[in-house]
Amino acid sequence: MNEQKVFIVSDIHGHYHALKRALDEAGFDEENDDHHLLGLGDYFDRGKENKEVFEYLYRLEKKGKGTFLVGNHDLFLLEFFEGDDDRVLFNIDYNGFQTTLESFSGIRYEGPKSLPLMRKLILEAYPELPGWIESLPSFIERDRYIFVHGGIDGSNPYWRQQNRRDFAWNYQSQLPGVKNKTIVSGHERTPLIRLREDSSRKFQDETLSKPIEKDGKIFIDGYVEQTGRINVLTITLEDKL
C-alpha cells in the first residue's frame, strides 16, 4: 500500500498568500499523487483574502487533493446565510467577520443595512459556499491520529457523539486526550499557549508560533493575523484521507 503524505494546516483566517507561502516552503505539490492537504478549520475572517482561500481549497477538494474540517469561524457564515443578523453583527464587531463579507461580496460593509445585499451578492457569486460549509466534517480519525478544530473530551467514551459546536469551540488544552491516539487541533493559538506557561517570553520571539506537541496532543494554530505564520504539520498515513 502506498503511504500518503499529509500536509496539515489550520486557522488560515483569510490569509491566502501566507497559506501558499507556507505550503510551498513545506513542499506541498498538488500534482504529486501522494500529497494531500488537510485543513482543520477557520478558513475565514480577519484577513482580506477570504474568497481566494475558499477558491483554492474548494478546487483542491474537487480534485481529490484536499480534505477540510469545520471550525467555529466557518460556522459564522452559516449564521449569515440563515439570516441570524444579531450573531452576524456580533461577529463583525468582535471576530473579524466584516473582511469575509467584503471579500466575498465585493462591496464595503456600511452597517446592518448592507447585509441583505451582501447576502444576495455572495449567494449569486458563490452558490456552492453554504453547502460546502455544511458538508465539512467535525473530526477525522486515521491511523493513530484524531484531527479536529477545537477539541475532544477524551474522558467521555462517547466523544464521537459530541455536537458540532463542541468540536469546533472546545479547547483541547483544557480537555483530556484519547488513549493511544494523538489529537491534532487548531483553534488555540500556540504563542498564547506558550505565554501562559512562561509570561517572561517576548511575543516577538518567532519560536512562540511553532507547533506544540505534548501529552498526546499537537497544537498548530500559529496566530497568523499577528505573526504572519501558518504552520504546516506533515505526517505520513497508511490509511489515506
Q: Over its length of 241 residues, how does the chain's per-residue pLDDT go in tens digits? A: 579 999 999 999 999 999 999 999 999 999 999 999 999 999 999 999 999 999 999 999 999 999 999 999 999 999 999 999 999 999 999 999 999 999 999 999 999 999 999 999 999 999 999 999 999 999 999 999 999 999 999 999 999 999 999 999 999 999 999 999 999 999 999 999 999 988 777 766 778 999 999 999 999 999 999 999 999 999 999 999 9
| Rounded CA separation 202/209 (Å) | 12
SS3 percent helix, strand, coil of the chain, rounded to 5, is: 40, 20, 40
Q: What is the 3-state secondary structure (H, E, C) of 212-236?
A: EEECCEEEEECCHHHHCCCCCEEEE
Beta-carbon count within 10 A of 207 CB: 9
Q: 212 phi and psi, to 5 degrees?
A: -120, 130
pTM above threshold 0.85: yes
Contact indicator for 199, 205 with CB cutoff of 8 Å: no
Question: In this structure, are strands 66-68 and 139-142 parallel, antiparallel, or unpaired?
Answer: unpaired
**CA 225-8-167 angle, 5° bins:** 80
Q: For the chain, what is the domain count? A: 1
Task: Please give the residue range of the domain that contains residue 195.
Answer: 1-241
CATH, residue 241: 3.60.21.10
- Could you tell me the sign of the dihedral formed by the alpha carbons of 28, 78, 76, 118, in that order? positive
